[in-house]
């Protein structure tokens, strides 16, 4: 390499001029339409024929085309239209009104003769005429909005868009390339079905809250009377008993405690057809709405609520209390999806040591997948207070594929009944979700079990 | 083959079910206007014969496919008929016919330009149609005035029609070239 001539080396940084030229190049925004081509062709042809044949009438036939082109093209558009999607960002609950719109702004100095705007929307957003293109005009330096109001019919992360606009200007002689903008998300929160569980929590564990705990401490619930001991407060002295027994006695109370509720959502599969907020509910519909209702109920009582998905992704929301946690829960529930593919659920996440021994575990499951039943049995065997909520919609059946389908469905149903029976034998109460009071009966049973000594 | 036909039929049914009134009216107007231009331009003897069906097909085609070459073809058929009538059939160049043909062909052309960018199922704001038609009307009015003046001049200068046509044609050609050159420079 040390020869007579130094080798030609390529510069590590390309010359600025070439780069600038490449960057500044972009396909033209405005392109001629077929109408412009037709205008030029007909004008030229008629003029040539007029001159060749010496016919003034042929020249006059070309006149409107020439005048039309001259009028249309006297001022040319330069910039692309600006399209924006506006969607309501407030708290929308399924079944509620959604305000969305498309706005086309014209930064140019000429009128947009025709703007065709169209958008896609999620199937669960029933927006007025959103499935049709809208044809509007936009004045120079102005804007025009297309209103797309309607209703959100199902929970989830819905979207308005992507939207596209195509503009024709200069009397249809020039058209702009379609301007496409990405979708805008609309969060639709699940409708919480009214739910009220009056029964006590099986095991209240925390330090604050309004459940009666099994531990003595400062609280309102009388636990008994016991002899005075150093450290007892004077106002706790029960004078009547002390006088009778001639020895100081204090009234002891049970402390008020909070509880931890773990909502376990089985997302191994989806079954049934969702009909939106007023229609039939699929497994995930029932799961999400029930989870929102149960979480709202316990969070209002000051308990800690945590959530987890039983599936391949094993999402988890750590426990907390209060209104902020309720909003977090709703947000978390928006991303609940049925598991696709055959990813096995991460068993270690749902192992007993990951679930607090005092927590009430509410498992929302359609009990279609045998792994869910195994998981439930495992939780109960490890001594967790577990309640299963059956989320399989009534009448859910696999699609008709042949003459044997009804028989196979019956067999499957019998097998499922068998699994439910075996779970009950293991001590897992299984209830169907039916709104208010769904869990009362089973919570009472679980409380009774919890009050018994745990000999394991 | 059968599958393709069924698919086409399905698409046509969807189109009919979804079509909205204003785009439909625009397309109907295209067919009507071109049919009018063809009947005015072509010799009467042909118009009242069974060849009228062919002319009707030529007029209706741009209404169904405004984005294609049907519109150019329809205008060329109109001009061809006009030249045939005035040369082969020796018809007189009447002012009303020139005015009618110029107006109808231009209106057909501009409506086809609108229909080409207007989806058949669009929700159309009436302003779009009004402003489009007003602009077309102004253009037609301007060219009608020009037609009346130029044809008047031609009859005044009886015998000098060839010269007038040459002059007007040259002036128009220069004007059109200038317009196109200006347009290209801007784009």
Task: Identify whether residues A44 and A99 lie together within a single domain.
Answer: no
Domain final residue pick, A256, A280, A308: A256
Does A359 have pLDDT greater than 90? no
Task: Identify whether residues A265 and A393 lie together within a single domain.
Answer: yes
State the residue range of the domain holding A34: 28-72
Instruction: Decide if B94 contacts B51 (C-beta within 8 A).
Output: no
With respect to residue A1, please indicate whether it lies within any of the assigned structural domains: no
**Residue A129 touches chain B, beta carbons under 8 Å:** yes
The tens digit of pLDDT for each residue in B69-128 reads 889 999 999 999 999 988 888 778 888 888 999 999 999 999 999 999 999 888 888 889
Task: Identify whether residues A154 and A303 lie together within a single domain.
Answer: no
Cα separation, B80 vs A85, in Å, equals 50
Name the more confident of A198 and A426: A426
Query: Which CATH number belongs to the domain containing residue A134 in this structure?
Result: 2.60.40.10
Task: Identify whether residues A150 and A283 lie together within a single domain.
Answer: no
Cα separation, A130 vs A143, in Å, equals 19
Q: Which residue in B20, B82, B169 is closest to A59 by CB distance? A: B169
With respect to residue A292, please indicate whether it lies within any of the assigned structural domains: yes
With respect to residue A207, please indicate whether it lies within any of the assigned structural domains: no
Task: Identify whether residues A243 and A267 lie together within a single domain.
Answer: no
The tens digit of pLDDT for each residue in A29-43 reads 888 889 998 998 898
Name the more confident of B150 and A1: B150
Cα separation, B143 vs B149, in Å, equals 10
Task: Identify whether residues A278 and A407 lie together within a single domain.
Answer: yes
Task: Identify whether residues A368 and A423 lie together within a single domain.
Answer: yes
Phi, psi of A185 (to 5 degrees): -80, 145
Query: Which CATH number belongs to the domain containing residue A401 in this structure?
Result: 3.40.50
Sort out which chain A residues have CB atoms less than 8 A from B110's CB and list them: 35, 68, 171-172
**Residue B127 touches chain A, beta carbons under 8 Å:** yes
Helices (H), A73-141: none
The tens digit of pLDDT for each residue in A248-279 reads 888 877 655 557 888 888 888 777 777 777 77
**Residue B155 touches chain A, beta carbons under 8 Å:** no
- The closest alpha carbon to A137, from B128, B40, B135, belongs to B128
Residues in chain A, total = 456
Domain final residue pick, A256, A280, A306: A256
Cα separation, A433 vs A197, in Å, equals 13
- The closest alpha carbon to B128, from A135, A173, A239, belongs to A135
Task: Identify whether residues A326 and A372 lie together within a single domain.
Answer: yes
Task: Identify whether residues A426 and A286 lie together within a single domain.
Answer: yes
* Number of compact structural domains in chain A: 4
Q: Is the ipTM of this complex over 0.90?
A: no
The tens digit of pLDDT for each residue in A66-124 reads 889 888 888 888 888 889 998 877 778 888 888 888 899 988 888 898 999 999 888 88
Residues in chain B, total = 187
Q: CA torsion sign, A117 to A122 to A125 to A129?
A: positive
Task: Identify whether residues A250 and A264 lie together within a single domain.
Answer: no
Question: CB distance A66–B179 less than 8 Å?
Answer: yes
Question: CB distance A38–B86 less than 8 Å?
Answer: no
Task: Identify whether residues A117 and A64 lie together within a single domain.
Answer: no
Sort out which chain A residues have CB atoms less than 8 A from B18's CB and list them: 132
Instruction: Decide if A315 contacts A334 (C-beta within 8 A).
Output: no
Task: Identify whether residues A135 and A268 lie together within a single domain.
Answer: no
CA angle B125, B129, B131 (to 5 degrees): 105
Domain final residue pick, A72, A95, A128: A72
Give the start-to-end residue ranges of the domains of chain B.
Answer: 2-124
């Amino acid at each position: 390499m040390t020869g007579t001539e130094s080798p030609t080396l390529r510069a590590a940084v390309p010359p600025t001029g070439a780069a600038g030229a490449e960057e500044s190049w972009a396909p033209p925004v405005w392109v001629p339409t077929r109408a412009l081509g037709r205008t030029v062709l007909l004008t030229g042809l008629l003029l040539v024929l007029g001159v060749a044949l010496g016919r003034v009438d042929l020249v006059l036939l070309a006149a409107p085309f020439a005048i039309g082109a001259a009028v249309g093209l006297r001022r040319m558009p330069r910039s692309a239209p600006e399209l924006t999607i506006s969607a309501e960002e407030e708290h929308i609950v399924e079944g509620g009104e959604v305000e969305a719109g498309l706005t086309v702004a014209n930064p140019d100095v000429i009128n947009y003769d025709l703007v065709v705007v169209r958008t896609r929307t999620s199937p669960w957003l029933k927006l007025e005429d959103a499935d049709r293109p809208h044809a509007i005009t936009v004045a120079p330096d102005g804007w025009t909005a297309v209103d797309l109001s309607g209703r959100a019919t199902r929970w989830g992360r819905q979207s308005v868009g992507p939207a596209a606009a195509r503009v024709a200007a200069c009397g249809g002689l020039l058209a702009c390339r379609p301007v496409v903008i990405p979708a805008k998300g609309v969060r639709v929160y699940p409708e919480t079905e009214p739910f009220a569980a009056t029964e006590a929590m099986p095991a209240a564990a925390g330090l604050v809250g309004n459940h009666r705990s099994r531990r003595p401490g400062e609280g309102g619930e009388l636990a008994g009377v016991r002899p005075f001991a150093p450290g007892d407060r004077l106002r706790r002295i029960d004078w009547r008993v002390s006088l009778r027994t001639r020895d100081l006695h204090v009234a002891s109370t049970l402390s008020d405690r909070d509880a931890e509720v773990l909502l376990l959502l089985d997302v191994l599969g989806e079954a049934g057809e969702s009909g939106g907020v007023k229609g039939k509910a699929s497994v995930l519909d029932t799961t999400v709405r029930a989870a929102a209702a149960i979480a709202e109920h316990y969070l209002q009582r000051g308990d800690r609520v945590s959530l987890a998905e039983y599936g391949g992704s094993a999402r988890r929301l750590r426990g907390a209390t209060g209104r902020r946690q309720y909003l977090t829960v709703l947000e978390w529930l928006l991303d609940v999806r049925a598991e696709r593919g055959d990813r096995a659920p991460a068993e270690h996440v749902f192992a007993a040591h990951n679930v607090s021994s005092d927590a009430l575990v509410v498992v929302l499951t359609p009990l279609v997948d045998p792994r869910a039943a195994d998981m439930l049995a495992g939780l109960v065997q490890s001594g967790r207070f577990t309640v299963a909520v059956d989320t399989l919609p009534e009448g859910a059946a696999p699609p008709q594929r042949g003459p044997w389908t009804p028989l196979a469905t019956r067999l499957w149903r019998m097998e499922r009944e068998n699994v439910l029976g075996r779970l009950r034998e293991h001590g897992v109460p299984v209830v169907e979700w039916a709104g208010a009071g769904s869990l009362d009966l089973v919570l009472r049973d679980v409380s009774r079990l919890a009050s018994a000594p745990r000999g394991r | 083959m059968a599958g393709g036909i069924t698919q086409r039929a399905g698409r046509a049914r969807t189109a009919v079910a979804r079509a909205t009134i204003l785009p439909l009216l625009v397309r109907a107007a295209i067919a009507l206007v071109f049919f009018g231009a063809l009947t005015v331009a072509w010799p009467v003897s042909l118009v009242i014969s069974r060849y009228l069906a062919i002319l009707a097909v030529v007029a209706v085609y741009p209404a169904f496919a405004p984005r294609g070459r049907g519109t150019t073809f329809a205008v060329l058929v109109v001009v061809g008929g006009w030249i045939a009538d005035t040369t082969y059939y020796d018809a007189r160049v009447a002012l009303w016919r020139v005015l009618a043909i110029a107006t109808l062909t231009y209106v057909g052309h501009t409506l086809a330009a609108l229909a080409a960018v207007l989806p058949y199922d669009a929700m159309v704001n009436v302003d779009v149609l009004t402003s489009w038609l007003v602009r077309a009307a102004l253009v037609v009015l301007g060219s009608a005035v020009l037609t009346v003046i130029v044809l008047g001049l031609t009859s005044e200068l009886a015998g000098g029609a060839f010269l007038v046509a040459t002059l007007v044609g040259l002036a128009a050609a220069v004007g059109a070239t200038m317009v196109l050159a200006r347009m290209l420079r801007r784009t």
